[in-house]
Chain A
Amino acid sequence: MRYVLTRLLWMVPTVLGITLITFVLLELTPGDRARLRAAGDPEAAQAGDGEAQRARYERFLRHFDLVDPATGAPRPLLERYGRWLGRALRFDFAAPDEDPAAFRDRFLAALSVTLLLNLLAFGIALLVGVPLGSWLGMRTASPADRALSGALLALAALPEFLVATLLLLLLGGGLFPALLPAGGLRSAGASEWQAGAQAFDLLSHLLLPVATLALGPTVVIARFVRESVARAARSEFVRTLRDLGQDPGALRRCALRNGLAPLCTLLGGLVAGLVSGSVVVESVFSLPGLGGLAFAAVSQREYAMVLAVTLLASIATLVGLLLADLLHRALDPRVRLA
């Protein structure tokens, strides 16, 4: 219990740090773009109209009450941060010309799509990665292990957008007749179909994006479990069990349980990767999720939405890391408070 409380207390400065970093992000004004353009940087000039950017940014500052209404000048730095912190803690990011409820609805709708994608991907990664890893770990240096480990190493290196593009080309109709829909979440007119047909439609739309998102974590989990099961399989207690005549299945279970506790820590770290993956996957497959929303917001310089997604993603990751640590400790009481 003391451990949980200490960890929760430690979260306070971390959350403050997250709001501070997003604040710094906010302070990087797009006015710099105008200066860059004046310096003759062709890309800066290409990136957008400096004046319009500046105006949008100032409107944004006014909206967050970061400008002194009397003088029109920005408030002092500390006060700006204080006001920003208040907004961030209430999670109130509605754009100047948007009603807060509409913003919240937009945000929640996108969040549900992203959660669905990521939970499915994470589930598949665990269901495939753990058995595959433990199977390989029990037979290290066999031809099967050598071939599959090499393949896993190569797959670990492939970035999501490349995998997404390849899947889209192979199955989504880029090169051959389409086997699966290439984007979106539902077919046109699907809302009038029967429930079964609708579910099938949704599933076929989710298959490619979920496969893309799941590939990375699956490979990481499989490689990790393989290593730890192989280490456990070499240890004394497994050798003893084998000499006592236990069957291979029981041996694998014992070795696996030993390797699973550190896996929790790994899973916590994977959450951050999933968020980044969502941005790519949702924009490649044009899905209406948070990642796609964030990307659209970045392209349209809609700062409030970018900040909202960044803040939410960081806090979700923080909670993921915390849960992973707590779970690790529950599974393995030897873990000390770091």
Chain B
Amino acid sequence: MNRLGAALLWVFLGVAALAPSLANDKPLLARVGGAWRVPALAETVGLDPGPAPAETWKVWWAELPDEGPDFAVFPPWPHGPRAGDPARIRALPHAAHPLGTDDTGRDVLARLVHGARTALLVGVCAAGLALLLGVPLGLVAGYRGGVADALVLRAVELVLCFPALLLVLAVAAFAGGSFAALVVTLGALSWTGFARIVRAETLALREREFVLTARGLGLGAVRVLRAHVLPQLRGAVATTFAFVAAEAVVVEAALSFLGLGPGLRGVSWGGLLAQGKAHAHEGAWHLWAFPGMALALLLVTLQARADRRARTAG
């Protein structure tokens, strides 16, 4: 079970990282009029793929003469998440589109693959920001105590009072639903998880012999925290990271489900699920079943990793 969980998590991370190279209607590698192009790879690392030589890459490919220097290598799944086939709207799964197509005839598998990128990018960025804010505050609060501790605890209480989804909704309405606004809001709301656990652990570690020895030898607070306290916290921080990332994934999906998400140019599991809910009575089961399974699988995987970590850490 544990190996399966770890493997699944790596699969999700891999798919998210490589999404534009796995499912795309742009080629991985192409030779256009003697010049080399790598549009799908450029998209993978976040660069502009550049204009297609014809109306689209697919059109260019179809019109390419058999003989000639030009050629292209397409990704393993040659459908992009945005280009739809108007002739195939909400098609049920069949050979050409094994997971069917959506409202505007876009391939569901390609959208799931790119949706994983959106979900995990939000999850990892928000949890990373929360970690950068929460861990130092927790260390200072636990190690210094006194006024610093009281201030951090008050701030934690203050932030805990805000209902996350409502605040995220409000920010989406007030500042426009951008990806950066979502990540910053989620990070600013969820650093408390890191701060609380790190503070509690630091309080306990502060009295341990090896920390007392290091302090007795005259090491500064920064050195003691970095070299002696921080390494002990790795398990607790990893657990919290998985929890916080899972929460961020849920918020992003819920926001897209409600139609207010950032969904890196509109590709999100939550958005697909909303389509599925709207058209379920017409028999379009593939639009809620597949994104629902993807989301549930990712969340259960994250939760199980966090749970196992928490138990092995004691």
- Chain A residues with a Cβ under 8 A of chain B: 10, 13-14, 17-18, 21, 25-26, 28-30, 32-33, 36, 41-44, 47, 153-154, 156-162, 165-166, 168-169, 173-175, 269, 272-273, 275-276, 279-280, 283-284, 291, 294-295, 297-299, 301, 303, 306-307, 309-310, 313-315, 317-318, 321, 338
Contact B288 A298 (CB under 8 A): no
Cα–Cα, bound, A43→B253 (Å): 18
Cα–Cα, bound, A43→B180 (Å): 13
Interface of A is mostly: helix
Contact B176 A156 (CB under 8 A): no
- Name the CB-closest residue of A to B302: A157
Cα–Cα, bound, A294→B171 (Å): 12
Contact A158 B299 (CB under 8 A): yes
Report B-chain residues with C-beta under 8 Å of the C-beta of A160.
254
Cα–Cα, bound, A145→B173 (Å): 45
Contact B163 A272 (CB under 8 A): yes
A selection of 28 A-B contacts at a CB cut-off of 8 Å is: A14-B161, A17-B154, A17-B155, A21-B158, A25-B171, A30-B174, A30-B175, A36-B176, A43-B177, A44-B178, A47-B176, A157-B296, A160-B254, A161-B257, A161-B273, A165-B273, A165-B292, A169-B288, A174-B277, A175-B285, A272-B164, A276-B164, A280-B257, A280-B258, A298-B172, A306-B169, A306-B173, A313-B163
Contact A169 B258 (CB under 8 A): no
Chain A proximity of B255: nearest CB distance (Å):
10
Contact B174 A303 (CB under 8 A): yes
- Name the CB-closest residue of B to A162: B292
Chain A proximity of B188: nearest CB distance (Å):
9
Contact B163 A295 (CB under 8 A): no
Cα–Cα, bound, A174→B173 (Å): 30
Interface residues on B, range: 35 or more
Contact B277 A298 (CB under 8 A): no
Report B-chain residues with C-beta under 8 Å of the C-beta of A159.
250, 253-254, 295, 299
Report B-chain residues with C-beta under 8 Å of the C-beta of A10.
154
Report B-chain residues with C-beta under 8 Å of the C-beta of A30.
174-176
Cα–Cα, bound, A28→B285 (Å): 40
Chain B proximity of A23: nearest CB distance (Å):
12
Contact A161 B254 (CB under 8 A): yes
Q: Is B260 an interface residue (CB 8 A)?
A: yes
Cα–Cα, bound, A284→B250 (Å): 16
Chain A proximity of B70: nearest CB distance (Å):
31
Cα–Cα, bound, A161→B302 (Å): 18
Which residues of chain B in 11-37 are interfacial with respect to chain A, using CB atoms and an 8 Å cutoff?
none
Contact B161 A157 (CB under 8 A): no
Contact A161 B175 (CB under 8 A): no
Chain A proximity of B146: nearest CB distance (Å):
13
Contact B166 A310 (CB under 8 A): yes
Contact A317 B173 (CB under 8 A): no
Chain B proximity of A293: nearest CB distance (Å):
11
Contact B166 A44 (CB under 8 A): no
- Name the CB-closest residue of B to A33: B176
Which residues of chain B in 135-176 are interfacial with respect to chain A, using CB atoms and an 8 Å cutoff?
153-155, 157-158, 160-167, 169-176
Contact A14 B158 (CB under 8 A): yes
Cα–Cα, bound, A168→B262 (Å): 26
Cα–Cα, bound, A307→B174 (Å): 11
Q: Is B265 an interface residue (CB 8 A)?
A: yes
Chain A proximity of B314: nearest CB distance (Å):
12
Most A-side CB within 10 Å, residue of B177, B258, B302: B258
> CB-CB contacts of B277-314 with A at 8 A, as 1s and 0s?
10011000100100010011001101110010000000
